[in-house]
Amino acid sequence: MGLIRGLPKLINASGGGRNSKYAPKSIRFQRHGCTNRPFYHIVVAMTSRDKNSQPIEQLGTYDPIPNVYNEKLVSFNFERIGYWIGEGATISKPVAELLGLSGYLPIHPNTYLFAWRERRKVADNEANNDDSKQIETNSNQ
């Protein structure tokens, strides 16, 4: 039962076990940082494991809070991402959106929807501002 001469069978250092080679894996975010200052590692982890469990491999980082230059910093190891996609790892939606924005994958449909909604908001705000200016000019005359 996993005992070798009275010692329990040790699991490997990557956090896997006997069946980890065949278990489904996913490329997803793992949250780090403080309560009001999130920072994410992009990792490969077994799908069935808890989100805070030890990952198999770290593939990149993502800092969602804009820095002084209004940039959100992202780093990827595209070579290893390609390897894990080839091994059959699934990609979570948020990571797929980032990979689409970076040009590695096709742009995710959620990105198109978000951009369309933002353009619509801007157009509505401009229309409302134009209407209010016309009302003010008519009332002043």
User: Quick check: is 54 in a domain?
Assistant: yes
Coil, helix or strand at residue 67: coil
What tokens were used for 18?
Answer: 């006997």
Residues 101 and 113 in one domain: no
Q: What's the CA gap between 38 and 73, in Å, rounded?
A: 12
Residues 115 and 137 in one domain: yes
Residue 16 has pLDDT above 60, yes or no: no
Residues 27 and 44 in one domain: yes
Residues 126 and 114 in one domain: yes
Specify the number of domains making up the chain.
Answer: 2
Residue 40 has pLDDT above 60, yes or no: yes
pTM recorded for the entire structure: 0.72
* Bridge partners for 27 per DSSP: 44, 91
Residues 90 and 78 in one domain: yes
Residues 69 and 88 in one domain: yes
User: Quick check: is 97 in a domain?
Assistant: yes
Residues 84 and 140 in one domain: no
Residues 99 and 48 in one domain: yes
User: Quick check: is 125 in a domain?
Assistant: yes
User: Quick check: is 4 in a domain?
Assistant: no
* pLDDT, greater one: 51 or 121: 121
